[in-house]
């Protein structure tokens, strides 16, 4: 399990020398100067086509670096880590080259290794699959202004994608697929699809995620003491013992919205949780005034919504066929406009065939089109988009 860290010191530099451009050829990486002028920010575009080049490019990144990764599967022999920071006007970018499919595979890393760790600000990481790490897939620590878009974190030895640390501020996680993550050393107890844990910082948002078939929870906000927004995301099939572990200890909530003493008002809108081994949505002892609106919980083994101790406000949420019941709510929880509230029935689903929810994402990376768990209602439940 990740441990809490304090805010780290950084020194930011921004060159005002001529911009630098980089291209790759048979002999390696070549530097040249652009004619942008002496007042231009430093820009280095590095194209990599081997694991060694990738390791060097990440380690050597500075404000303005753009790392373009050519198509293929890369097997680094050490964790990809950087403490460099970009700026709001000169970000550090790590991305697949245009049209390329890139997988970074951790199966050759030493036991216990993360696949990637970013300790700086203003990173953009996009269009890359991070898979088969011995431990965590991708971790951003005390990140400010990060954009993590169109990523896959799959079959890693702990949580797929993690934000952590104090000063974790204004990060966007968009269109993440995170699945099959399982920590054998913990018998599945820690590996979530996405974890925002052990830290603080405002302005963080998760949108368009599919978090499924992970050993622990789809989403986990354990000991994160600032509000996070999560919207238009799906969590399903979490907590099942797919690894035939005789001591399996995965939890299996769809959206675990607290724990460890945090009292935080997270904002949870237009999401869906189904077929999880425990609850669809749960406070997990978070006593904060969370707001949950227009979510759907379907066929979870626990309650659709478990908010027994806090001050959550639930509005226009839908719960159907959850074995633990529609909701378990405490005396300080406010429920209005949800099915099961006075006079409000559950509208019929257009489809309960889940196959399209596993389909390919749209060209821009957004969730696939589906009629699964849609109702056509404009007043209750997730719109599933």
Give percent above pLDDT 90 in the chain: 88
pTM over 0.85: yes
CB 263 within 8 A of CB 301: no
Q: Does the pLDDT at position 87 exceed 50?
A: yes
Let me know if 344 is exposed, middle or buried by CB neighbors in 10 A (0-12, 13-18, 19+).
middle
Query: Do residues 379 and 226 touch, judged by C-beta distance below 8 A?
Result: no
Return the pLDDT at 250: 98
On the question of pLDDT at 33 being above 90, the answer is no
pLDDT tens-place string over residues 135-183: 999 999 999 999 999 999 999 999 999 999 999 999 999 999 999 999 9
Does residue 256 carry a catalytic annotation?
Answer: yes
Q: Which residues pair with 149 in a beta bridge?
A: 126, 174
Lowest mean per-residue pLDDT among 8-12, 217-221, 277-281: 8-12
Q: Which has more pLDDT, 31 or 345?
A: 345
* Topology of the domain comprising 135-385: Pectate Lyase C-like (2.160.20)
pLDDT tens by residue, 226-241: 999 999 999 999 999 9
pLDDT above 90 (res 18):
no
- Taking a C-beta distance cutoff of 8 angstroms, is the pair 132, 105 a contact? yes
Average pLDDT value for residue range 258-279: 96
Q: Strands 20-25 and 28-33: what pairing?
A: antiparallel
C-alpha neighbours within 13 Å on the C-beta side of residue 143: 30
Split at pLDDT 50, 70, 90, the class of 262 is confident
3 state SS of 54: helix
pLDDT at 26: 28
DSSP string, 126-173: ES-EEE--SS-SEEEES-BS-EEES-EEES-SS-SEEEEETT-BS-EE
The reported pLDDT for the residue numbered 169 is 98
pLDDT at 17 over 50: no
Distances (CA, A) of 172 to 46, 59, 74, 258, 261: 24, 23, 25, 19, 25
Q: What is the pLDDT of residue 41?
A: 52
Q: Express each pLDDT in 281-309 by its tens digit.
A: 999 999 999 999 999 999 999 999 999 99
pLDDT band at 347 (very low <50, low <70, confident <90, very high): very high
- Comparing CA positions, the residue from 272, 269, 304, 307 lying closest to residue 288 is 307
Is the pLDDT at 253 greater than 90, yes or no?
yes
Catalytic position from the list 256, 278, 311, 316: 256
| pLDDT classification of 16: cutoffs 50, 70, 90 | very low
* pLDDT over 70 (residue 15): no
Residue in the structure block whose two tokens are 């878009």:
149
User: Could you report the per-residue pLDDT of 38-58, keeping only the tens digit for each?
Assistant: 334 578 899 999 999 999 999
- Give the angle 222-225-227 at the CA atoms, nearest 5°: 100
| DSSP structure string for 256-294 | E---TT-----EEES-EEES-SS-SEE-TT--S--EEES
> Which of 235, 245, 244, 185 shows the shortest CA–CA distance to 214?
235
Alpha helix stretches (DSSP H) within the chain: 51-59
Q: What is the largest CA-CA distance in the chain?
A: 72
Query: Nearest Cα to 125, choosing from 100, 147, 140, 105?
Result: 147
Alpha carbons 150 and 367: distance in angstroms, whole number = 10
Q: At 28, is the pLDDT very low, low, confident or very high (cuts 50, 70, 90)?
A: very low
What does the pLDDT average to over 92-121? Answer: 98
């Amino acid at each position: 399990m990740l441990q809490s860290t304090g805010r780290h010191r950084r020194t930011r530099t921004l060159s005002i020398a001529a911009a630098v451009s980089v291209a790759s050829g048979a002999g390696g990486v070549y530097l040249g100067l652009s004619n942008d002028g002496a007042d231009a920010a430093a820009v280095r575009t590095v194209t990599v086509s081997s694991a060694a080049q990738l390791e060097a490019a990440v380690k050597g990144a500075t404000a303005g670096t753009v790392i373009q990764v050519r198509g293929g599967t890369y097997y680094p022999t050490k964790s990809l880590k950087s403490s460099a920071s970009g700026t709001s006007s000169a970000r550090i970018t790590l991305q697949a080259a245009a049209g390329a499919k890139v997988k970074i595979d951790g199966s050759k890393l030493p036991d216990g290794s993360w696949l990637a760790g970013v300790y700086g600000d203003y990173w953009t990481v996009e269009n890359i699959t991070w898979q088969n790490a011995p431990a965590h897939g991708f971790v951003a620590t005390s990140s400010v202004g990060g954009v993590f878009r169109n990523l896959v974190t799959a079959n890693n030895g702990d949580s797929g994608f993690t934000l952590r640390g104090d000063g974790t501020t204004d990060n966007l996680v968009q269109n993440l697929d995170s699945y099959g993550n399982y920590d054998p050393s913990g018998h599945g107890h820690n590996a979530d699809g996405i974890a925002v844990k052990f830290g603080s910082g405002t302005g963080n948002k998760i949108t368009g995620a599919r978090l499924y078939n992970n050993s622990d929870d789809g989403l986990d906000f354990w000991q994160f003491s600032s509000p996070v927004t999560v919207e238009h995301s799906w969590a399903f099939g979490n907590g099942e013992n797919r690894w035939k572990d005789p001591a399996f200890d995965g939890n299996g909530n769809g959206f675990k919205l607290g724990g460890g003493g945090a009292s935080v008002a997270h904002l949870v809108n237009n999401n869906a949780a189904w077929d999880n081994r425990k609850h669809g949505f749960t406070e997990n002892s978070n006593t904060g005034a969370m707001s949950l609106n227009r979510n759907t919980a379907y066929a979870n083994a626990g309650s659709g919504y478990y908010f027994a101790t806090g001050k959550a406000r639930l509005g226009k949420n839908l719960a159907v066929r959850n074995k633990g019941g529609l909701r378990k709510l405490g005396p300080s929880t406010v429920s209005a406009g949800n099915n099961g509230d006075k006079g409000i029935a559950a509208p019929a689903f257009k489809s309960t065939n889940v196959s399209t929810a596993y389909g390919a994402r749209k060209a821009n990376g957004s969730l696939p089109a589906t009629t699964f768990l849609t109702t056509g209602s404009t007043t209750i439940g997730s719109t599933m988009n």
